[in-house]
Structure 1
Amino acid sequence: MTGRGAEAPQTPGDPGAPEPAVAPEPAVAPERGLAGEPPGVRTARRRYVTVCALLWLPPGLGLASMVLLFGERGMSLTTVAGLFAAHSLTVAALELPTGGLSDVLGRRPVLALAGALNVVAFTLVGLGTTVWMLTAGMVLMGAARALSSGTAEAWYVDTVQASSGPGAELRTGLARGGSATSAALAGGLLVGGALPWLLGLGSDPGARLSEATSGAVLPLSVPLLLGAALRVVFVGYVLTVLPEPPRPRATPRSLLSGVPATVLAGLRLGGRDALMRRVLLTAAAVGSALAALELLVPGRTAELTGGTGSAALVYAALACAGFVCSGVGSHLAPLAARVAGGGERAVLGCLATGAAGLLLLGLTASSAHPLATALAVTGFGLVYLGLGAASPNENDLLHRRVSSARRATALSVQSLAQQLVGALTGLAVGALRPGPLPWLLSGALLLCGALLWLGGARPSRTPCASRPAPAPTVE
């Protein structure tokens, strides 16, 4: 972005730097222009999709086995809850500082650091036998999650805008990244659930594995150790193929001053900008919806199946189906924008679809009739489909509102709003009696989030004063 005058570029993290004007949203028919895009943009999109898949495949692998592994190591349910709380609190505490670090230091080193921390974290969790080792692993996993939150997306948007200007089409790449994320989670969930089972077949190779390692490696450890190996591949890929524009050389002093300034600037943007307020409030509503799903669906599944063992199997299948629906929704995000006539209308319609799914779950919460169960499953799929389609359209609007110097911070503020409200919703849902009310309340909150997009965002009157960073070479 270039200002009208001959102003010098603002340095990243400068709290006095003016905010850019809103980049125009491209004509809502992005697929027609894909063939005429610069090769660098297509390469950046492909690399971003690969990074998304490599980033989320290891968590998918661990999702199916981690709780069971902790139980196998002798941890009580209270201790398991404490381990996950340590992870969540670490993510919440580091979300904004790490977003500022990404904006000041650069996307590639922060992503590589996240991958390296995850190698250690997955190894500790996979091999740990004491509470302290497992706690250290979960804390490192939370720190890595905070470092990677929004960083790959910020790299993709920076690269595309540096190559094609601030009005470059972003929605297609964001949608494909969302689809890759959902596919990686779903595939990881299936593989992570199948590996321990396969190791228990035949002559019980799982027992031989445990015996050969003196109990350090259990069949349930294998998905996590595989995740650690994939993190090594992720770090190598990031360092090899993710170029960045040159940034001012970071020193300890510049980090100590630049990161807090960038975080404060991101928070101020969320307070004074109408579209950013919509984004943050929508993230809060989405966090509430996801918390309700995660807390209520397992219990509902146990009621319908009549046993915890069968409920776990059914819930794993449902979770996988949810990720598939989310991926399909992300893939359909550009089509939703074309049909709706714009990104804001698409967000409105997609969030309303998710709210309808939650309300459908609420209306069927007290019935075990097969038709009610079918409607509940339909509602479950609609929630993930709607949220998956809303996210790329919403983030496309967000990236046209913020500058590169604060992009990762803005994404971190968005993620923090989702996590905090999700945690509060979890407490509220846990205090309510099971039945329709928790579902209906979360559905009403998501519907309120959808209605925020009825009005258009006011464009900023402040012209952009900074020149674009030189485009990185993407061959």
Structure 2
Amino acid sequence: MTGALDPVSARRRFTAVTFLFWLPVGLYIPSQVLLLGERGMTLATIASLFAVHSFTVAALELPTGGLSDVIGRRPVLAAAGVLNVSALVLLALGNDVWMLALAMVLMGSGRALSSGPAEAWYVDTVQAHSGPDAELRTGLARAGTASAAALALGTLTGGALPWLLGLGPDLGARLTDATSGLVLPLSAPALAGTAVGLVFVAYVLTRLPEPPRPPTALRDVLRGVPVTVLGGLRLGAGDPLVRRVLLTAGAAGAALGTVELLTPGRAAALTGAPASGAVLFAVLACAGFVCTAFGSHAAPLLSRWARSGERAVLAALGVGATGLLLLGLTVLWSGPVALVLAATGYGLIYLGLGAAGPNENDLLHRRVDSAGRATALSVQSLALQLIGALVGLVVGRLPAGPLPWLLGGTVLLAGALLWVRRPRPAAPEPGSPTVTVPAASAR
């Protein structure tokens, strides 16, 4: 790639596009479960809608990763932004289960399209400028910090919007009456997210240059999808280190699914109303994402302190599992001490996951090459979404109490224990230090 951006510029643009992608997610997180509850959905139905999202991601992860490796990172990212904007509109305005399910399908499709291209663009750009041994961990950590900062800012804003609409002349009630119940105060964060999503699409199209790729007919891309899927599966099965990264992603998905499903309802129960519950959850989520940002920023330091990326992942996931188990135990207690311990556990979850992510992905990028990089990231996201969906379905049907929390904590602890013994990478072929993942291509 001649004329490639220098690493500093690539890092800044990767950080910016990551921030813009995750800000709308942060905006609707505090109100999502509560909004669905206001629409009349039970917790089991909400868990099923989340599963629709996760299974959509799981079904599309590998094909869309291969699509990015063939037609380019930029068009796939832009398409992801358009799908996310459409999903947020449906989520904000939908009253029927089928409309909300369609929103989850669109959002899952956008998530699948976006799970690898931006990071693959960054790694490709840096390696094109500085060679295959270019330093990657700092940029990956900065992007992790940016995503956490976007989520923190978004949750604070998204949690406050419904509450602010209820102040003064009660704009929320007037808005609901004027739209015949179509727009609720809890709909405002998702609608705000659509505006940010449009900015994301514009930024991708104008600020992420990449070299031209040979034109590829759609039928040739589709013909290559089975090759991509098989290549992704071989990647997870054939390399011990990569396999542990993928299993760890699944454990993280279980932890995140548990926390995101159970915390909003608990916050609303503590405050006595959905709008105030959204504010409390927004504060908690913001604190969690700040911990994620701190953990991600400290990931390179943790790797140096632990003297290897593998031991850094072990330590970080151990911290996260401790937090989730602690959060489950505090459900049995009440009073200020229990609240302090619960907040501590909540912070430890996000601190540990934030520190683990850049170290895991640095290990992953050392084992794959550019031709299959987005596919490898899609396999990782597939593991996170699929295991997260399955655990979420179970958690949504368990009786209230510590058991649902402890289930998620146990799965994350199992993911940490995978790294007790340092994995031995599969022996590469002579002259090739990386695992090549077959990507969809015209044949």
Could you say whether these structures have the same fold, taking a TM-score greater than 0.5 normalized by the shorter chain as the test?
A: yes
**Per-residue Cα deviation, 1:371-422 (whole angstroms, up to 9, x for no partner):** 3432232122111101100100110110110111111111111111122222
What is the CA-CA distance between 1:369 and the residue it aligns to?
4.9
Tell me the equivalent position of 1:461: 428
Instruction: Check the 8 A contact 1:104/1:258 in 2, yes or no.
Output: no
Question: Aligned partners of 1:427 and 1:218: how far apart in 2?
Answer: 27
Instruction: Check the 8 A contact 2:166/2:172 in 1, yes or no.
Output: yes
Structure 2 counterpart of 1:338, from 282, 304, 314: 304
Matches for 1:127-146 after TM superposition, within 5 Å: 127-146=93-112
What secondary structure sits across from 2:245 in the alignment? helix
Question: Aligned partners of 2:121 and 2:10: how far apart in 1?
Answer: 9
Instruction: Check the 8 A contact 1:358/1:383 in 2, yes or no.
Output: yes
Instruction: Check the 8 A contact 2:300/2:359 in 1, yes or no.
Output: yes
Percent identity of the aligned residues?
Answer: 66
Tell me the equivalent position of 2:240: 274
**Superposition TM-score, scaled by structure 1 size:** 0.81
Whether 1:394 and 2:360 are equivalent positions in the alignment is: yes
What is the CA-CA distance between 1:171 and the residue it aligns to?
0.8
Whether 1:197 and 2:174 are equivalent positions in the alignment is: no
Whether 1:411 and 2:385 are equivalent positions in the alignment is: no
Question: Aligned partners of 2:37 and 2:403: how far apart in 1?
Answer: 32
Question: Aligned partners of 2:271 and 2:177: how far apart in 1?
Answer: 36
Instruction: Check the 8 A contact 2:53/2:104 in 1, yes or no.
Output: yes
What secondary structure sits across from 1:65 in the alignment? helix
Amino acid at match of 2:31: S
What is the CA-CA distance between 1:221 and the residue it aligns to?
3.0
Amino acid at match of 2:422: G
What is the CA-CA distance between 1:434 and the residue it aligns to?
5.1
What is the CA-CA distance between 1:263 and the residue it aligns to?
2.1
Flag the 1:76–1:380 CA change in 2: closer, same or farther, 3 A.
closer
Amino acid at match of 1:171: R
* Count of aligned positions: 430
Structure 1 counterpart of 2:17, from 51, 72, 86: 51
What is the CA-CA distance between 1:57 and the residue it aligns to?
0.8
Tell me the equivalent position of 1:29: none
Instruction: Check the 8 A contact 2:5/2:125 in 1, yes or no.
Output: no
Question: Aligned partners of 1:248 and 1:103: how far apart in 2?
Answer: 12
Matches for 1:28-427 after TM superposition, within 5 Å: 40-72=6-38, 80-210=46-176, 216-297=182-263, 305=270, 307=272, 312-427=278-393
Structure 2 unaligned spans of 5+:
435-443
Question: Aligned partners of 1:283 and 1:59: how far apart in 2?
Answer: 19
What is the CA-CA distance between 1:258 and the residue it aligns to?
2.3
Question: Aligned partners of 2:48 and 2:185: how far apart in 1?
Answer: 24
Tell me the equivalent position of 1:17: none
Amino acid at match of 2:300: P
Flag the 1:291–1:230 CA change in 2: closer, same or farther, 3 A.
closer
Flag the 1:332–1:284 CA change in 2: closer, same or farther, 3 A.
same
Instruction: Check the 8 A contact 2:115/2:378 in 1, yes or no.
Output: yes
Question: Aligned partners of 1:135 and 1:94: how far apart in 2?
Answer: 16
**Per-residue Cα deviation, 1:64-85 (whole angstroms, up to 9, x for no partner):** 2334444555666666555444
Q: Which has the higher contact order (CA 8 A, sep 6+)?
A: 1
What is the CA-CA distance between 1:300 and the residue it aligns to?
5.8
Tell me the equivalent position of 1:27: none
What is the CA-CA distance between 1:269 and the residue it aligns to?
1.3
